[in-house]
Structure 1
Amino acid sequence: MADNHVYPEFERAMLRPRYWLTWLGLGVLYAVVLLPYPCLHKLGKGLGRLAMRFMKRRVKIAHRNLELCFPDMPEQERREWVEKNFESVGMGVLETGMAWFWPDWRIERWCRVEGYDNMIAARKDGKGVLLIGLHFLTLELGARIFGMKNPGVGVYRPNDNKVMDWIQTWGRLRSNKYMLDRKDVKGMIRALKQGEIIWYAPDHDYGPKSSVFVPLFAVEQAATTTGTYILARMSKPSIVPFTPVRMADDSGYVLYIQPMLEGFPLDDEVAAAAYMNKVVEKEIMLAPTQYMWLHRRFKTRPEGVPSRY
């Protein structure tokens, strides 16, 4: 492995009192996800509805994002979407534990994959694969499902809490070869050129640096990363979107692997960002209430333009 591969090791310092609450929380999460999945489905949704009472600011952000993206949506429907979205927030907490702690047989029991032939086709010529995975609240579990069949290279933001950083990396390495810091663009390009699969999320607002303003749903000027363009231009990978969707009942999950993208612009970063946002829109609409609407997606504005929040 190269020196920049992320693999934090356990340290005795992680046993200090400052981390005891973290260990307690992880222990509770581990114990809870031992429950049968139908119980987890009910518990997660209830946890999410409870969270709405304490996360008022995030409720407002989710409501505002939906208002900006879908201005013609009736107010009552928007409120229903927000409530379902927070049910997904609660489920997302439990799904993180499922992704990190469940054995393979249990993942296989409750999850299935559609479109696996698309991944076979993308890998056929030995090229690397830029796997476009959005910030769905099911993302941790989706990555585990995908990685069980297609171990690749995980891209993540290191956690400031040493225990959380260690446990999330350990959990993600159950279905990844190694991890890279999301700022390590050179490492991503190198991995893609070596024929690896790189998970990449281009759908959040990462600030004005390395972003351009292009449409997203009804928002005409959404700050959108040029990272996809840079990775695609430098390494010429196959680009494949994937989306994990939780079934409305308690029957489990479907991971949709989409066909390779055709005609991705490699000579214009603005056109590339606009193209990618169309892909983002399509994937979000597979399960819109399971998307992470809590993020201030439109916080970055052109200079002199007032905040949308």
Structure 2
Amino acid sequence: MSVPSAPTAPTPTSAGAPPLAPRHWPAWLGIGAMALLARLPWPLQRALGRALGVLLRLALGSRRRVAARNLALCFPALDAAARTALLHAHFSALGIGVFEFARAWWGSTAALRGRVAIEGLDHLAAARAGGRGVIVISGHFTTLEICGRLLCEHGVPLAGMYRPHAGAALEWAVKRGRLRYATAMFGREELRPAIRHLKDGGLLWFAPDQDTRRGDSVFVPFFGLPAWSLTSTHQLARLSGAAVLAFAHERRADGGYTLRLSPALADFPSADAGADTARVMAAIEAMARAAPAQYLWIHRRFKRQPDGTDPYR
């Protein structure tokens, strides 16, 4: 994998100057509204989130169909009624997740103190022994952002790797929000500084579980189906010497969160990028099976197949 030159600006630890040209003003109005919603009481956010989930399920017909198809592909043993119930629960989780994302970026987590259970910090300490860097892998869950912040606020100095937003105002606002708790944020093209961060003993958190046209990918099993999957975890571990461990997170029915860090993957990386990627996706599948309503089923995870078919058509 080639490593491009490091970008000159903005740095991974700074959001730079905000874009204030008139063409960005509509985006700033939306960001301002989200920032206000981020400050609502947590019980009210959860109630509004569930209502928003119903609206999203009714309004986003194409995404609802993608989610329903994913559930049929991944849970064939469930009958139609059970899959429908899971679909409704997913959109409820998605609606709550909108408020969680806003709170993570622009709000306070004070209301969540005492509601967070963290397991496996000893596994992280073992992986970091001797100053080794650690790649912390997760999946795209509705709880992704809030649980990343909660882990950081419990003494785990995560940096993140992410896909920058196309809109300049939203990119600035979200990056600035993330840098309130993350030690650094690296865009997906900023591989050189991310590798340097790992070599210096840092922690790098990212989710490699979506089908993307960018980056080296291979087909590996996910819920028993071929899924076009990034080999980036293998590549980053090979180039940096970092350990790799899984970070699972879920929203509990009582409004709290459980965060779990697993032991570092043994003998990782190997010489086989495909085998390593299969291990990573198996870890993310286990997370999705543990909290199925909270995984991001609206993504067309299986749109690319070895035989060229599209299961969503």
Task: Give me the TM-score of the superposition, normalised by structure 1.
Answer: 0.91
Q: Structure 2 matches for 1:189-268, cutoff 5 A?
A: 189-207=195-213, 210-219=216-225, 221-250=226-255, 252-268=256-272
1:130 counterpart SS class? strand
- Between the aligned partners of 2:107 and 2:115, the Cα distance in structure 1 is 11
Q: Deviations over 1:75-102 (max 9, x none)?
A: 1111111111111111111001110123
Please list every run of 5 or more consecutive structure 2 residues that lacks an aligned counterpart in the other structure. Answer: 1-5
Contact 2:215–2:232 (CA under 8 A) maintained in structure 1: no
Please list every run of 5 or more consecutive structure 1 residues that lacks an aligned counterpart in the other structure. Answer: none
What's 1:275 paired with?
A: 279
Give 2:177's aligned amino acid. G
What's 1:162 paired with?
A: 168
C-alpha displacement at 1:2, in angstroms? 8.1
1:308 aligns with 2:287: no
- Between the aligned partners of 2:82 and 2:180, the Cα distance in structure 1 is 39
- Between the aligned partners of 2:17 and 2:114, the Cα distance in structure 1 is 31
Give 1:60's aligned amino acid. R
Task: Give me the TM-score of the superposition, normalised by structure 2.
Answer: 0.90
1:198 counterpart SS class? strand
1:15–1:305 CA distance, 2 compared to 1 (3 A): closer
Contact 1:68–1:218 (CA under 8 A) maintained in structure 2: no
2:302 counterpart SS class? coil
2:90 aligned to 85, 91, 114, which one? Answer: 85
Identity %: 36
After superposition, the CA RMSD in angstroms is: 2.0
C-alpha displacement at 1:294, in angstroms? 0.6
Give 1:262's aligned amino acid. A
Contact 1:265–1:271 (CA under 8 A) maintained in structure 2: no
Q: Greater CA deviation, 101-110 or 123-132?
A: 101-110
C-alpha displacement at 1:169, in angstroms? 0.4
2:71 counterpart SS class? helix
Q: Greater CA deviation, 147-156 or 130-139?
A: 147-156
1:289 aligns with 2:293: yes
Displacement over 6 Å in runs of 4+: none
Contact 2:39–2:108 (CA under 8 A) maintained in structure 1: no
Contact 1:189–1:235 (CA under 8 A) maintained in structure 2: yes
